[in-house]
Amino acid sequence: MTASLERGLNALREQIDAPVASFFTSCVHCGLCAEACVFYRETEDPRYIPIRKLDPMRRLWRREFTLFGRIGAMLGLVRPVTDADLGEWETLVYDSCTLCGRCTLVCPVGNDITLMIRKMREGMSAAGHTPKELIGAAVRHVETNSLMGNLAPALRAQVKRSVAETGIDIGFDQPGVDYMVILSAQETMDYPEILSSMARIFKKAGISWTIASDGFEATNVGVQIGSRDIARILVARVVEAAERLGVKGVVSPECGHAYQALRWEGPNLMGRAFNFEVVHIVELLDRLRAEGKLPTKGMESRRVTFHDPCQINRRGGIDREPRRLMALVASDFVETDDAGAMNWCCGGGGGVGANERATKLRLTAFKRKKAQLEKVNPDKLITMCAYCHHTIEEAMEEYHMEIEVQGLTDFVATYLDDEPAGA
């Protein structure tokens, strides 16, 4: 136990840098982060105050990274961080935080609390305090090719089905094409229609693309569990495949943390910049729209709203792109309260959805989303993250809500004008 506590504390020490020190130095204990947190707001339990979830890390910083804290530690005024502390904090750090980032946007002194939770998870996983489902997913992904186990046969079957449906060929491992597409396991298993949608859109736009048989999985449980080592191994598969194939870019799919993992953490995990571009599918679609390469015909006339995935909008910077696409194909588009950068999380991100013991809490947190949706009462909800899609669908089942959910790429493809000219 001591050895793993020591490993955990070492991992935490490695995470403490100037920004973290400035955040802890600045905190005035105002508690405004709580008002922003979906878990606090729906439970009103002060244990879920975001900054409080970092208490062990804050204590470690005080004791070891400040002179006054070191003196305080010698006088016995600042308690050391124990294995029991980390054990107690496990549910706070993994069950009641989706890394959604709302607290980061409201903190009056500018503390990036979400970044610190991400960092704290590095220490928690090294100390052995991680939900077992996330460990299982990490082992499966490292040993096979996806967090759900070997997904290669399923993916090939889905590709075959898509080719039969659209008549458009999808090639594996083709070098020199424009883009390499990666998919989240959720898409491969639950929402494979994305393949046909991309095939049609890319064909119309004259884009060549491929899927790498040894680097097709976009999800990265290393980022959720908080293990840079695992995250690096998984992201390297995609990076090495893209470099081997010599593609111009990699299309990050409709998956929030996958976008974070490859686009923002990827180069830092690999320790080098990539020689290809990482573009989110929705950024790419918006680019095609601007270039006039995304012709559409007709519009959805029912009432449609949009759910911003935290990792793609608030923590990913993709905010206007989906709205320009919505304007293209939805005639009765309505925004929910707090839409955009302050949208409420579905409650399932950051590994929470995979964590069985967090189910009740996740469904309680969903009440915020439910209230947001009920206020605009849409027929259809569009989003751009397969995991939000899955979480929302499942929770709506629980709350007997009848709103259709669809991925944005698939929604746009529904109205793609790709009939041959003159037909």
Partner 1 sequence: MNPAFTLFMWARGPAFDVALAIFAAGITLRLVEMVVLGRKTDLAPAKGHPIRQGLATIFTRSIPRPGLVRFAPGTYLGGYVFHLGFFAAFLLFAPHIALIRDALGLSWPAANRAIVESATALAVVAAIILFFSRVMDPVRRALTGFEDYLVLLLSVLPLVTGYVAANKLFGNPEMMLAVHVLSVDALLIVFPFTKLMHSVSFVFSRYYNGAIQGRKGAES
Stretch binding partner 1 (CB under 8 A), from 100-108, 137-145, 241-249, 391-399: 100-108
Cα separations (Å) of 358 from 33, 171, 215, 240?
21, 40, 31, 35
Residue type, 176: G
Using the 8-state DSSP alphabet, how is residue 411 labeled? Answer: H
Select from 27-35, 145-153, 200-208, 211-219 the region that touches partner 1 (CB under 8 A).
Answer: 27-35
Question: Residue 415, interface with partner 1 (CB under 8 A)?
Answer: no
Structure token pair of residue 211: 């899927």
Instruction: Report CA-CA distances (Å) from 61 to 15, 16, 42, 120.
Output: 10, 7, 31, 12
The span from the CA of 102 to the CA of 221, in Å, is 22
Q: Which is nearer to partner 1, 206 or 271 (CB)?
A: 271
The upper half-sphere exposure of residue 324, i.e. CA atoms within 13 Å in the direction of its Cβ, equals 15
| Interface with partner 1, residue 49, by CB under 8 A | yes
> Positive or negative CA dihedral for 378, 381, 382, 385?
positive
CB-wise, 283 or 410, nearer to partner 1? 283
Among 5, 11, 12, 20, binds partner 1 (CB under 8 A): 20
Nearest to partner 1 of 66, 144 (CB atom): 66
CB of 269 to partner 1, least distance (A): 9
Question: Which SS3 state, helix, strand or coil, does residue 138 take?
Answer: helix
Half-sphere exposure of 46 (CA within 13 A, CB side): 3
- Binding flag, residue 263, partner 1 (CB under 8 A): yes
Cβ 416 to partner 1, closest distance in Å?
26
Q: Any contact of residue 111 with partner 1 (CB under 8 A)?
A: yes
DSSP state of 183: B
Q: Does 109 bind partner 1 (CB under 8 A)?
A: yes
- 399: contact with partner 1 by CB under 8 A: no
**From 105, 135, 163, 299, residue interacting with partner 1 (rule: CB under 8 A):** 105
The minimum distance between CB 345 and partner 1, in angstroms, equals 15
Query: Which position among 8, 11, 23, 231 is part of the footprint of partner 1 (CB under 8 A)?
Result: 23
Contact status: 167 vs partner 1 (CB under 8 A) = no
The single-letter code of the amino acid at 350 is: G
- Tokens representing 123? 């220490």
Q: Which of 91, 101, 89, 350 is nearest to 226 (CA)?
A: 350
Site string (265-284) toward partner 1, x via CB under 8 A: xxxx-xxxx-----------
- Answer for which of 5, 9, 36, 81 binds partner 1 (CB under 8 A) is 36
- Rule CB under 8 A: is residue 27 a binding residue for partner 1? yes
What single-letter amino acid sits at 48? Answer: Y
By CB under 8 A, is residue 35 in contact with partner 1? yes
Q: Do the strands 209-211 and 249-252 form a parallel or antiparallel pair, or are they unpaired?
A: unpaired
Contact between 342 and 315 under an 8 Å Cβ cutoff? The reply is no
Crossing angle for the helix pair 55-65 and 67-74, to the nearest 10 degrees: 90
Choose, by CB under 8 A, the member of 108, 136, 176, 246 that binds partner 1.
108
Residue 200 CB, shortest distance to partner 1, in Å, is: 27
Q: Does 376 bind partner 1 (CB under 8 A)?
A: no
Using CB under 8 A as the binding rule, whether residue 67 contacts partner 1 is answered as: yes
In DSSP terms, 251 is beta-bridged to 181, 279
Nearer to partner 1, 259 or 411 (CB): 259
| Pick from 310, 243, 308, 228: nearest CA to 277 | 243
Detail the DSSP E strand segments found in 281-348. 300-307, 330-333
- Which residues contact partner 1 (rule: CB under 8 A)? 16-23, 25-32, 34-36, 40-41, 44, 46-47, 49, 51-52, 65-68, 104-112, 115, 263-268, 270-273, 313-319, 337-338, 340-342
